[in-house]
Chains A and B, each alone.
Chain A
């Protein structure tokens, strides 16, 4: 009986934690966006862009530098679908991605399979 309660409680807790961590908390506890400067490199590694929230100025062309350290094909491309920009990232290299001037707003960027995800905040 005790075993049954423990397993069911653990199962329900796992469901609640999944919903909270991946869907609710991800919206509430966003890390502050990183501003773009000469030194900023976005690390592409282990399924994550780091930093994954990038802040840029509106109405101004910007260059983002991606450093890909993941050799898996997932990490090969970065896409900015709303800006119609994409770039092939070389392994262990810094690849510069030229972004055109954009309006204020949030623009997602991701890999081809949408496993790597990030947000470009234009303000």
Chain B
């Protein structure tokens, strides 16, 4: 249990509360708990909200002492997010205020310096005037930049140095030097009696402004998670003790019966117990057509009930719902590291102390070997180098792009497990695809029926016969008859002849269905049908001969149809430079027929499940970067072995747990989307890293004065401050450009 002492209200779910008397007892029991400012019981939804600093356990103990039960309700992600947004807004406004005040002092001072050139201290009047300005600047440093100094001090105590260290050192040095000029001008040479209060105030103002803009821009990087959170309906209508009531969705418990009316979102995962309706699942699966739900069907939180009223039983609530798992996965992936960032990470860890050393060395060089005024030049160089160096730009370069890229993936139905998978997906050169369920529908269907007489009559007889069979292909024949609303007849003397086919009496006639061997065994000449059967087999279909009362009646063919979009998806993947290899347990003829139709050149047929992993490993031995697309359950070992495993299958729990990339949509287009997205994200990361490296490797020498021989000027610390403040904003803004990413061919997701 959380031993939480928090300023935000805590919510508890109560047990055993039934009347106003209970409410009074509980509220008065809590009134005696130290730290409780207010306690309110809501009898309707049996909850208790406690405000104040009391611990969770103390509150629960107080409720228990009153004779009732209480259980802490965790703040849900949506509420947390809203709180976060409010905090961010408050922080944004605070930064703007600080910036405004600091610039309010710094800008007039800078204009004064530019217009009059009078920034020196040469008499008592100037000492008094600049002394007053110095005190005002100190107030600005404390009020607007105090957090830099406290941060720097705490970090220093922990042997650590951060951006705060650089800002505090830079502005602090400029202020201290200026105060030295004001108080003891005679200890400095005439040419060095120059104050830099405007630099201190301007730098603090600009960095606060930069941080405010960064807060703003960063808020947009998490738009994807917010969209997912918006899918969660905050309320649920539960039926308890025969009464319907609206309660917050996080108070629903497993087994609760809930009602969803037309137009409402499903609040938790569950199973329909009453009613019938169409449910729009496009937001989670990408399937554009609503799915019919009736008794026993599963419902997923976040999906939309379209037209009927449903009562369903809650099976998964809170963090266990698929939506919650998806949100958690996206959040985890968004904050994960990408291998490419390793160099930036290493540099970041030694960056600030290195910059401090460079600043001191540069200052000493200017003091010992620079032109006059040496002390003034030394100070300007020291401050500018400290201020211009930006560890933030380096540190933000990768995480911001990953944050936006992973979020964008989620919006397109591509759930990336972590940054490593995102990076590896960019280098893939081979994609191994499982045929059944990925390239094909995964459920065989009757594709052809050819006969000399009435096709429906033959289908009725064959379906009646197959209704007794357990062969996987039999289901296809029976389904076809049902679709045509043919009623099946009674079957007598059913016999399954292993490796041949089936035989039975249907409506008094002997009906046979099987392969050519069955016909030979029964002494029936297939005649012209042999040629037709072979033609169907070449198209990847399984043809079967049908005979009635000892004479050939026709042939039927069953096939696992190729997915509608498979051809386009394969073409798209090839265009992305991927070599496609097909894996299947089916026979070679069927496999090759499917491969031919899809334009796949490499086929591995007649495979056992364990062979798939071996093929992936063999390809890797030949230095191929292998992606594997499968359904996430049967292909788990091969998915795990591949450099990137793409689980296709509408995000089953197993897939979400195990795959590098989970595709919410059952389409190979998702793999192409993922590859395109990962390449776009990596490109963005590289731009950011390049920008941050170049900024620092050019900025620091310029601030140190390498351009002085050409320009005859040193970089002003104010310009250095502006450059630093806006370098990190640039990185975040560039990452935000990824929000406009669109897959080259959108296969139909939202």
A residues at B contact (CB < 8 Å): 4, 7-8, 11-12, 14-15, 18-19, 21-23, 25-26, 29, 38-39, 45-48, 50, 52, 65, 71-73, 77, 79, 81, 84-88, 90-94, 96, 112-115, 117
CB < 8 Å neighbour of A11 from B5, B350, B364? B364
On whether the beta carbons of A91 and B391 are closer than 8 Å, the reply is no
On whether the beta carbons of A114 and B345 are closer than 8 Å, the reply is yes
* Secondary structure class of chain A's binding surface, majority of residues: mixed
Expressed in whole angstroms, the Cα–Cα distance for A112 and B399 within the complex equals 6
Expressed in whole angstroms, the Cα–Cα distance for A84 and B84 within the complex equals 24
On whether the beta carbons of A117 and B160 are closer than 8 Å, the reply is yes
Q: Mark B152-167, 1 if CB is under 8 A from A, else 0.
A: 1111111111111000
Chain B residues whose CB sits within 8 angstroms of the CB of A96 once the complex forms? 2
Expressed in whole angstroms, the Cα–Cα distance for A71 and B91 within the complex equals 6
* Least Cβ–Cβ distance between B154 and chain A, in angstroms: 4
On whether the beta carbons of A91 and B83 are closer than 8 Å, the reply is yes
Chain B residues whose CB sits within 8 angstroms of the CB of A114 once the complex forms? 345, 348-349, 395
Expressed in whole angstroms, the Cα–Cα distance for A47 and B361 within the complex equals 26
Starting from the known contacts A11-B361, A90-B87, A114-B348, 18 additional A-B residue pairs (CB-CB under 8 Å) come to A8-B368, A12-B364, A18-B360, A21-B159, A23-B350, A39-B3, A45-B154, A46-B164, A71-B88, A72-B147, A79-B336, A87-B335, A88-B84, A92-B87, A93-B8, A112-B399, A115-B162, A115-B391
On whether the beta carbons of B348 and A113 are closer than 8 Å, the reply is yes
CB < 8 Å neighbour of B396 from A87, A90, A113? A113
Chain A residues whose CB sits within 8 angstroms of the CB of B7 once the complex forms? 92
CB < 8 Å neighbour of B331 from A72, A81, A88? A88
Expressed in whole angstroms, the Cα–Cα distance for A81 and B419 within the complex equals 11
Expressed in whole angstroms, the Cα–Cα distance for A4 and B364 within the complex equals 10
* Least Cβ–Cβ distance between A31 and chain B, in angstroms: 8
Expressed in whole angstroms, the Cα–Cα distance for A15 and B3 within the complex equals 45
Asked, given contacts A48-B155, A113-B396, A114-B348, whether A65 binds B418 with beta carbons under 8 Å apart, the answer is: no
Chain A residues whose CB sits within 8 angstroms of the CB of B357 once the complex forms? 15, 18-19
Expressed in whole angstroms, the Cα–Cα distance for A104 and B159 within the complex equals 25
Q: Which of B161, B162, B214 has the most A CB atoms < 10 Å from its CB?
A: B162
Chain B residues whose CB sits within 8 angstroms of the CB of A73 once the complex forms? 88, 214-215, 218
B80 CB-CB contact with A under 8 Å: yes
On whether the beta carbons of B2 and A65 are closer than 8 Å, the reply is yes
Residue of A nearest to B95 (CB): A72
CB < 8 Å neighbour of A47 from B94, B154, B368? B154
Chain A residues whose CB sits within 8 angstroms of the CB of B2 once the complex forms? 65, 94, 96
Residue of A nearest to B392 (CB): A113
B468 CB-CB contact with A under 8 Å: no
On whether the beta carbons of B91 and A72 are closer than 8 Å, the reply is yes
Chain B residues whose CB sits within 8 angstroms of the CB of A65 once the complex forms? 2
Expressed in whole angstroms, the Cα–Cα distance for A84 and B528 within the complex equals 64
On whether the beta carbons of B360 and A14 are closer than 8 Å, the reply is yes
Residue of B nearest to A77 (CB): B335
Expressed in whole angstroms, the Cα–Cα distance for A79 and B392 within the complex equals 17
Asked, given contacts A48-B154, A90-B84, whether A18 binds B91 with beta carbons under 8 Å apart, the answer is: no
On whether the beta carbons of B160 and A26 are closer than 8 Å, the reply is yes
Which size bracket describes the interface of B in this complex? 35 or more
On whether the beta carbons of A19 and B392 are closer than 8 Å, the reply is no
On whether the beta carbons of A115 and B395 are closer than 8 Å, the reply is yes
Q: Which of B88, B337, B363 has the most A CB atoms < 10 Å from its CB?
A: B337
CB < 8 Å neighbour of A7 from B75, B91, B367? B367
Expressed in whole angstroms, the Cα–Cα distance for A1 and B211 within the complex equals 44
B residues at A contact (CB < 8 Å): 2-8, 75, 80, 83-84, 87-88, 90-91, 94, 147, 150-164, 211, 214-215, 218, 331-332, 335-337, 345, 348-350, 352-353, 356-357, 360-361, 363-364, 367-368, 378, 391-392, 395-396, 399, 418
Chain B residues whose CB sits within 8 angstroms of the CB of A115 once the complex forms? 162-163, 391, 395
Chain B residues whose CB sits within 8 angstroms of the CB of A117 once the complex forms? 160, 349
Chain B residues whose CB sits within 8 angstroms of the CB of A90 once the complex forms? 75, 80, 83-84, 87
Chain B residues whose CB sits within 8 angstroms of the CB of A46 once the complex forms? 147, 150-151, 153-155, 164
Expressed in whole angstroms, the Cα–Cα distance for A6 and B332 within the complex equals 53
CB < 8 Å neighbour of A94 from B6, B332, B392? B6
* Least Cβ–Cβ distance between A89 and chain B, in angstroms: 9
Ordered by A's residue number, 20 sampled pairs between the chains whose C-beta atoms are within 8 Å are: A8-B364, A21-B159, A22-B161, A22-B352, A39-B3, A72-B91, A72-B215, A73-B88, A79-B337, A84-B332, A84-B418, A86-B331, A87-B335, A88-B335, A90-B75, A93-B6, A93-B83, A113-B395, A113-B399, A114-B345
On whether the beta carbons of A86 and B336 are closer than 8 Å, the reply is yes
* Least Cβ–Cβ distance between B60 and chain A, in angstroms: 14
Expressed in whole angstroms, the Cα–Cα distance for A117 and B357 within the complex equals 21
Expressed in whole angstroms, the Cα–Cα distance for A38 and B56 within the complex equals 12
Chain A residues whose CB sits within 8 angstroms of the CB of B353 once the complex forms? 18-19, 22-23
Chain B residues whose CB sits within 8 angstroms of the CB of A81 once the complex forms? 336-337
* Least Cβ–Cβ distance between B279 and chain A, in angstroms: 30
Chain B residues whose CB sits within 8 angstroms of the CB of A22 once the complex forms? 159-161, 352-353
Chain A residues whose CB sits within 8 angstroms of the CB of B348 once the complex forms? 113-114
On whether the beta carbons of A47 and B90 are closer than 8 Å, the reply is no
Chain A residues whose CB sits within 8 angstroms of the CB of B396 once the complex forms? 112-113
Residue of A nearest to B86 (CB): A91
* Least Cβ–Cβ distance between A122 and chain B, in angstroms: 19
On whether the beta carbons of B160 and A71 are closer than 8 Å, the reply is no
Chain B residues whose CB sits within 8 angstroms of the CB of A92 once the complex forms? 6-8, 87
CB < 8 Å neighbour of B363 from A11, A21, A48? A11
Asked, given contacts A22-B160, A71-B88, A86-B332, whether A15 binds B151 with beta carbons under 8 Å apart, the answer is: no
* Least Cβ–Cβ distance between A1 and chain B, in angstroms: 12
